[in-house]
Structure 1
Amino acid sequence: MLENITISPKGGLSGTIHIPGDKSISHRSVMFAALASTPVVIKNFLYAEDCLSTVSCMRALGAKIEKDASNNLHVLGNGLHGLQEPPNIMDAGNSGTTLRLLSGILVGQPFFSVLTGDASLRSRPMARVVTPLTKMGGKISGRQDTRYIPMAIMPSEKIEGIEYNMPMASAQVKSAILLATLFASSPSIVTEPYISRDHTELMLETFGVKIKRQGTSVGVSPIADLQAPAEIDVPGDISSAAFWLVGASIIPNSHLTLKNVGINPTRTGILDILRQMGANITIENERFSGAEPVADLVVKSAELKGVTIEGPIIPRLIDEIPVLAVAALFANGQTTIRDAEELRVKETDRLKAVASELGKMGAIITETKDGLTINGRQKLQFAKCCSYHDHRMAMSLAIAGAASNGVEINQPDCANISYPNFFTTLDTIRA
């Protein structure tokens, strides 16, 4: 395990990168396949720590899951109503997706289960998931009045559908409700203030579940069983591609081709904002992988300008804000980010972490209650920075260092949570 890594400036980024599988879709593919009764082969599955936490939990619930010599994941479940009581506490590791989506599945089961996670996950709030699941009839008990894990989920007499207006857009909360509804006695309708990523809805449809959409509302009804596809091909993760999109945009003489990137419209806020900033990004070879749109992205270095990022686009790029803050440092003018208070309850308080660590490099960043104000065209200096064991912080700092005078990053191995080969890839495209 690396205690520190030093990133030095080496000039432009060039080459072709095959983007690793989408983390959100990898989680969902193995969960849904484990709830089906016929075999499913998952290609381009992301073998990162978060997704392997989901694999571990679904195995504990009785699914047979194996990797073959070609890195495909083979999943065989026991049907929608065939999950088994786990013999031990299930550990979600650092994965909020595992924890929240699995909570939705477990409230409808006729057995007892307990969920925990690492120190970071144990500090992340669960109330916004527990509240709707409890209203549906779920019996959940956890630490500090069920605001935090570890938490136990007891068998319920009956799970009922719900009409729920979410106070903030969240794909994880929405997904937990939709998954719980599969085991309920009546339909559910979930309404968000803005539309969040819809991978769960698309995956449900792939498994034969009818989804009703109207505006920012989505509805689903209970079903008897899932109809599994024989194969799922996971697109590349646009959240992983984001680091290269920003890096190639801000480092002169860069030219990268990013292969097989998911361009689901609920996830492409990063493309919209970078283009608004003046980035040179083209989309090629558009196609579909199952229900998910994919394409190749070509990005070249460009002169960027500051923008305002707020409102409905925030759920479409919430994970990309740390690296967008790096892009803003190299843009002309000021960039303002608002409505991003959800970043305070991620793996770390990302608003505070971005302001603190980029500030060590000389950046002028003002932290606000729900965002950041970033002055552009900054002269960054070499600094020793902390990742806070947050994968997106570590990779964002690496891009900042590569684009300036270098950086030393503490706890860089946390990148393995979502992008195990990130630092190797960075070396390759700067060779």
Structure 2
Amino acid sequence: MGENGVGKNYYPQGGAAAAAMEVSSVEHGQAGGSKCYDDDGRLKRTGTMWTASAHIITAVIGSGVLSLAWAIGQLGWVAGPAVMLLFSLVTYYTSSLLSDCYRYGDETTGKRNYTYMDAVNANLSGIKVQLCGFLQYANIVGVAIGYTIAASISMLAIKRANCFHVKGHVNPCHISSTPYMVIFGVAQIFFSQIPDFDQISWLSILAAIMSFTYSTIGLGLGIVQVVANKGVKGSLTGISIGAVTPIDKVWRSLQAFGDIAFAYSYSLILIEIQDTIRAPPPSEAKVMRRATLVSVATTTLFYMLCGCMGYAAFGDDAPGNLLTGFGFYEPFWLLDIANAAIVVHLVGAYQVYCQPLFAFVEKWAQQRWPKSGFITGEIQVPLVSSGFKLNLFRLTWRSAFVVATTVVSMLLPFFNDVVGFLGAIGFWPPAPSPG
């Protein structure tokens, strides 16, 4: 994964299409081209601070919010909110550093970096580039595994909620999560064959609706439970030694740190979001810093409400996943809606987060074997209204990736543990020093 092998225009808007636009822009002259194209020859960007904030909020508010009540339960009323605030400040600071890396050199006229790895290549060299590339793609694999586990647990929760409603809460309703992981994996094999899945315009809107749906339901149920309890549960220091051993207390506290970190992580796609912002003035970096401030503040407020209300409702017994840990049993249909929203959100989120890895491997293969029909050839598949081009290498490689992540997920069906681990590796400082 050297400088010529990682992240160089591996998104759909790069390569030949970008070159063609640049030639077109030059041919029509600077004055005419500036109306339709930016300074790099690509179609004029139209994003604003508000659209960038919306993209960030959509990316950040995910299934990690459901573990925050448990995380605060391990740390208590003092350390829990304080750690959440600390991570929000660290996220804002590192995101501001990373946004300065969008252009190499001058922040208004320097060369644009279209992806995270483009920014790494422009500012670092040698083993540092390889390390950043490895961490980014390893994190993507981890996110794919985590999303598979979370989606299967939510599907399982729908089945169990209905079982509890019919047979009573004392019935164990033991059901295996393996079939649901297989179902999710089959769906991902199908969706992974759609080219440029991350560019589908309605995807962010749907993901945002689903995120706010299940998060709001969790918040509402927490408020109702607090009212039913006629008071707030919890303690200043969280779960006490005695209820757990000292070693377990330390381990749970560190895991809570990981859960909170996972809930804030979005560095993998920050540069891609910034690349949607219209050209200066003001500079994209200034707009992105303001967007980060707005989105992180909004997210932190929402996290505080969900996490603290969940802890207030259940105290030290807060479940690892607020909507699947069955602190709530009724109304079962509302739990079904919330968990269905989680599944729909994760189906799309899985694909969006995996696109950089998919594109990197496919570009590397095309550069390595440019004359191979298996890698570069496409088969026209007739559909209802238009043709669909199927690439055999894409079919094989992406299907193998989905199968591998699904199998690993079957071996690691522990939502909280996986979330904490992903948060730990994903919050590694993401920002290369701007040049």
Identify the TM-score tier after normalising by the shorter chain.
under 0.3
Higher strand share: 1
- Bigger radius of gyration among the two: 2
RCO higher in structure (CA 8 A, sep ≥6) = 2
TM-score normalised by length of structure 2: 0.21
Question: Greater share of helix residues, 1 or 2?
Answer: 2
Q: TM-score, normalised by structure 1?
A: 0.22
